[in-house]
Amino acid sequence: MPISLKNEAAIAGIGSTEFSKNSGVSELSLACQAINHCLNDAGLAPSEVDGLVTYTLDSTDEIEVARAMGMGDLTLFAKINYGGGAAVGLIQQAAMAVATGAAKNVVVWRAMNGRSGKRMGQGVSGDILSSDIIHWSWYMAYGMLTPVSWVAMIANAYMHKYGVTVEHLAEVAMAQRDFALNNPAAAGYGKPLTLDGYMNARMVCEPLRLYDCCQETDGGCALLITSTERARDLKQKPAVIRGVTQASSRGQEQMTSFYRDDLQSLPEMELAARRVYKMSGLGPQDIDATCLYDAFTPEVIMQLESFSFCGRGEAKDFVADGNLRRDGQLPNNTHGGLLSEAYIHGVNNIAEGARLIRGSSCNQPEGVEHVLISSGVGVPTGALILGRD
């Protein structure tokens, strides 16, 4: 009998560093700070942690964290691939470990000097010959080197087919910026964004302008996953994992799935949707808020269709009606998201999902029972549904 991950594990701790443009410390230091805050939040000693999971892109190895923090025996350590596509994959690893007994208390994290150090927006290079680099070779020679350029290609096709305008993109950016105005930790705190401000900002890769793009951030974010039963004995209200999955589909490339017949949808995200809805027994009508991965604004609009909050081509009207705002049908990224809080590769979006379940968001909507969170868009990805205990 296979083990279902539904209700087996919960997010029991959340920790972040300050988010900045220049941390002045190492990424290992950021990781340790974030994990320390996370364990203090939960009320768990580092010696109790026996599992550590991060991104392949993270420069900090598990045992470096363990030594620095005085952790002891580890029985699970893993790194998940594909940039921000890893985000909820970390949660899946942790939940599987907890459900099977591979580990009891798993910390997942991402820590990066994403502005002062290696900037994602500065593009790929061809230093090491791998299957991944051969994939990038088809774009590098043409100068198509940055995430925004790859996303723009899909976004333009989607917008052309369904009549999505820059005003729709702007609404995503402005709605999330408005949330950030109530979040002192956010890059967008104290910086309102108007339609004029959006339109007058620099064009980056048509049709995407500056405010269609996420932040670049120095910072770290960590989460503690343990069994739902153990979580009840810790300090915080558990955010119970109702469903979690990774998802990659036929013809999948990393950011450049340009060779599928249909460029106007996200088949891997539709797979993630089917899986988390089935595992949780929930549907789109049961979701009260979302943290949809938002490295770029059109990704949010497309995902509304992937997760069946809207029919094909209808997401633009859903967005224009203000549904992503606090009083809308589906408040989205109530902390500001990657666009307006910080770009910690999606782990900060999962943290907000857990806060929404605790009832402690800086923009807490009424009566949140279930929150849906997604990993990176256009890459092998995943989805997560959290619920109240």
Partner 1 sequence: MAKPSRMKPPMGHDNGWWWQQAADGKLAIQRCASCQTLRHPPRPMCSECRSMDWDFIESCGRGTVTSYTVLHHPQFPGYDYPLIIVLVDLEEGTRLTAQLQDCDSEDVEFGMAVESYIHQDADGFKIPMFRPATEGADNAN
User: Which residues carry out catalysis?
Assistant: 293, 343
Residue 145 near partner 1 by CB under 8 A: yes
The residue range among 128-136, 170-178, 325-333, 336-344 that interacts with partner 1, by the rule CB under 8 A, is 128-136
Q: Which two tokens stand for residue 329?
A: 């049908």
Residue 143 near partner 1 by CB under 8 A: yes
- Cα-based distances in Å from 389 to 13, 91, 176, 234, 324: 15, 17, 28, 13, 25
Nearer to partner 1, 18 or 206 (CB): 206
- Residue 206, classified by CB atoms within 10 Å of its CB into exposed (0-12), middle (13-18) or buried (19+), is exposed
CA-to-CA distance for 80 and 293, rounded, in angstroms?
A: 17
Nearer to partner 1, 122 or 360 (CB): 122
The identity of residue 146, as a single letter, is T
Closest to 34 in 3D by CA, of 60, 16, 58: 16
- To the nearest whole angstrom, how small is the minimum distance from the Cβ of residue 332 to partner 1? 25
Residue 139 near partner 1 by CB under 8 A: yes
The residue range among 92-100, 139-147, 296-304, 318-326 that interacts with partner 1, by the rule CB under 8 A, is 139-147
- To the nearest whole angstrom, how small is the minimum distance from the Cβ of residue 164 to partner 1? 13
- The single residue among 63, 195, 199, 203 that binds partner 1, judged by CB under 8 A, is 203
- To the nearest whole angstrom, how small is the minimum distance from the Cβ of residue 387 to partner 1? 38
Residue 201 near partner 1 by CB under 8 A: no
Residue 40 near partner 1 by CB under 8 A: no
Nearer to partner 1, 157 or 185 (CB): 157
Residue 285 near partner 1 by CB under 8 A: no
- The single residue among 117, 123, 284, 365 that binds partner 1, judged by CB under 8 A, is 123
Question: Contact, 311 vs 293, CB < 8 A?
Answer: no
Question: Contact, 179 vs 333, CB < 8 A?
Answer: yes
Q: Please compute, for residue 376, the number of CA atoms within 13 A of its CA located in the half-sphere on the CB side.
A: 26
The residue range among 156-164, 278-286, 353-361, 362-370 that interacts with partner 1, by the rule CB under 8 A, is 156-164
Question: Contact, 171 vs 319, CB < 8 A?
Answer: yes
Nearer to partner 1, 149 or 280 (CB): 149
If residue 140 lies in a helix (H) or strand (E), which one and from where to where?
helix 131-140
Could you write out the DSSP letters of every residue in 28-93? Answer: HHHHHHHHHHHHHHHT--GGG--EEEEETT-S--HHHHHHHHT----SEEEEE-SGGGGHHHHHHH
Binding track over 161-200 against partner 1, x by CB under 8 A: ----------------------------------------
Question: Contact, 170 vs 339, CB < 8 A?
Answer: no
- To the nearest whole angstrom, how small is the minimum distance from the Cβ of residue 38 to partner 1? 34
- The single residue among 2, 202, 366, 367 that binds partner 1, judged by CB under 8 A, is 202
- The single residue among 70, 126, 322, 359 that binds partner 1, judged by CB under 8 A, is 126
**Which value, to the nearest 10 degrees, does the dihedral of the CA atoms of residues 350, 351, 353, 358 take?**
150
Helices 87-100 and 347-358 pack at an angle, to 10 degrees, of 60
Q: How many residues interact with partner 1 (rule CB under 8 A)?
A: 38
Residue 67 near partner 1 by CB under 8 A: no
- The single residue among 23, 54, 92, 149 that binds partner 1, judged by CB under 8 A, is 149
Within 8 A by CB and 6+ apart from 201, the residues are: 209, 210, 211
> From the CB of residue 229, how many other CB atoms can be counted at a distance below 10 Å?
11
Residue 258 near partner 1 by CB under 8 A: yes
- Segment 204 to 243, residues that bind partner 1, using CB under 8 A: 204-207
**Which value, to the nearest 10 degrees, does the dihedral of the CA atoms of residues 240, 110, 58, 125 take?**
110
Nearer to partner 1, 123 or 197 (CB): 123
- To the nearest whole angstrom, how small is the minimum distance from the Cβ of residue 140 to partner 1? 5
Q: Which residues bind partner 1 (CB under 8 A)?
A: 121-123, 125-126, 129, 131, 133-146, 149, 152-154, 156-157, 160, 202-207, 256, 258-259, 263
